[in-house]
Amino acid sequence: MTTLRVLGVDPGLTRCGIGIVDAIGGRRARLVHAGVIRSDSEEPLEQRLLGIARGLRAVLEEFAPDAVGVERVFSQSNISTVMGTAQVSGIALLEAAERGIPVALHTPSEVKAAVTGSGRADKKQIQSVLVKVLGLDAAPQPADASDAVAIALTQLWRGGGPVALDRTGGARTSAQAVWAEAERRARRARERSTSRQ
């Protein structure tokens, strides 16, 4: 069976959350990796961004995701936080694009709704669902890592734009479509195997 692997990125200048999940059929997924890429607030901005870029490159190269989901930057009262988040988001988009990995953006409310069913869920509710859905003993820490895993799950479950080329190299399809096609192929293979016995 073809496994679809998705990297979720929760962009932040001090802590950039990363979460990687594999589809394992139905609405199930397996946590592959979760963590944060940190930058030192005492460093010059360009050095902080360089460090995050290097960290994202390493993650992309090590785990080779099929698609990337990034939290969409939205307006906040603290403009410096928005700027840092937007800069890191741009790095994630660029690093994925350079590797030909399709990317989709998801708003925080879309992520909450996809994971918990409510666009107003709080972090504890999201983490509780992650524990249950992924069969974990505890939610990934720090919270930025849990947020990134939730973004990855949102990409798996809802797609949200072009995220993968089809088998013929033609039009892009959503992550859900790729996942569904992989499921159909696996089911057909099982049926052929059963009919031969």
| Catalytic entry in 66, 110, 144, 147 | 144
Active site residue 144: yes
Q: How far is the C-alpha of 69 from the C-alpha of 91, rounded, in Å?
A: 13
144 carries a ligand binding annotation: yes
> Which residues have CB under 8 Å from 69's CB, separation 6+?
6, 7, 8, 9, 103, 104, 105, 106, 151, 152, 154, 155, 160
Geometric angle at alpha carbon 39, from 50 and 84, rounded to 5° = 75
Active site residue 61: no
| Catalytic entry in 22, 71, 95, 147 | 71
| Catalytic entry in 10, 22, 66, 147 | 10
The answer to whether residues 63 and 32 touch, using CB atoms and an 8 Å cutoff, is yes
Active site residue 181: no
Per the rule left: phi > 0, alpha: psi between -120 and 50, beta: everything else, 184 is alpha
Residues placed in the known binding site: 10, 71, 144
Known binding site for Mg(2+): residues? 10, 71, 144
Annotated catalytic residues are 10, 71, 144
